[in-house]
Chain A
Amino acid sequence: MDISSSLLVVALAALIHASFQLSLSVLTMLSGHAIGAKHSQARVLRLTTSFVAGVALMTILLLAFISLVLVDVFGHDIPLLMWATAAGLLFGVGVAVWLFYYRKSVGTSLWIPRSVATYLSDRTKATKQSAEAFGLGVSSVLGELLFIIAPMTISALVLIQLPAMWQLIGIGIYAVISLSSIVIVWVLIGGGHKLSAIQKWRESNKHFLQFAGGSGLIILGFYVYVMQVISSSVGGI
């Protein structure tokens, strides 16, 4: 895969990551609690900024960590079986997102373990300091690991084949695109928009986001399978 194709795969994977909603839900709740507790707008902004910083740092660290593990295990020459496994992971998570991402009820409850949801909800309510908000951002990324593992793994596989400078650029592209949705909500909250309008938009578009996220994963899985597995097999013959 050449550099531009690799970066396009990373960009698509990041876009799929951006469609996942746990961090957005936590940010919405954090803002609601902070505004409802009569904190000043400056303090609300400090808390939400720290939260977004926590999400950004954990996203970058996770992608770098997965890349490091893959380099350590396979080097820069990825075996065909690993590409096939990664494509299978994308298909599997894609179908799971189609079927299970949201719970079958009103609201934006996600299909994550209820203990994780309760923990994040309780921590959101208890968050008063910027450092706590930063930790909450880190935790919310870990909470949706079940879903983001697929786009992150494929991005890591693609990135470790690139020259070092392009790897850094690729990680930057992934971080910027995957954080775009949360940054938009952060800007809206900072600009004084009503949380009800943001939450109503999220709720009314949740099935579209679910379909788009799942479809994106399946399309990416198909592309990776064709480009890396089938083309290599045919080339080998």
Chain B
Amino acid sequence: MGLAIDIIKRDGGRKSEKFSDEKLHASIVAACLSVRTPIGQAEAIAHAVTQSVISWLETKPEVTSHDIRRITVKHLHTHHPDAAYIYEQHRITI
């Protein structure tokens, strides 16, 4: 399910897209799994963080993908610092 919020992509040139909580959830699960978190715990953390991000998004008509990433890292850090670190590093590894 997607909220009616436009996500402006990082490079500015690409078209904006609707927010997808499933996509966010999957990316958080992937970050948790990549630091060897058990699948059940990864799903629970992803659910909690996704809900926090959705609450933050509800008051905003449009945000950038960078904003989403920043807020996700902030909330994920309270649940799993290692996963938050990997999530944050994803775009700045290469």
Contact = CB atoms under 8 A, between A and B. Distances in A.
Interface of A: 22, 25-26, 28-29, 31-33, 35-38, 105-110, 112, 117, 120-121, 192, 194-197, 199-200, 203
Given A107-B93, A109-B92, 10 more contacts: A22-B94, A28-B93, A37-B30, A106-B92, A108-B89, A112-B94, A196-B82, A196-B83, A199-B86, A199-B93
Given A36-B29, A200-B85, A195 B34 contact: yes
Main SS at interface, chain A: helix
Nearest to A124: B94
In this complex, the member of B36, B86, B89 whose beta carbon has the largest number of chain A beta carbons within 10 angstroms is: B89
Residue of B33, B34, B82 with highest tally of chain A CB at under 10 A: B34
Contacts of B31: 36
Of A32, A120, A195, A196, most buried by chain B (CB within 10 Å of CB) is: A196
Contact of A121 (B35, B36, B39, B94): B94
A33 B31 CA distance: 9
B94 A194 contact: no
25 contacts: A22-B94, A25-B93, A25-B94, A29-B93, A32-B30, A33-B34, A35-B33, A36-B29, A37-B30, A38-B33, A107-B89, A107-B91, A107-B93, A108-B92, A109-B94, A110-B94, A120-B94, A121-B93, A194-B35, A195-B35, A196-B83, A196-B85, A199-B93, A200-B85, A203-B89
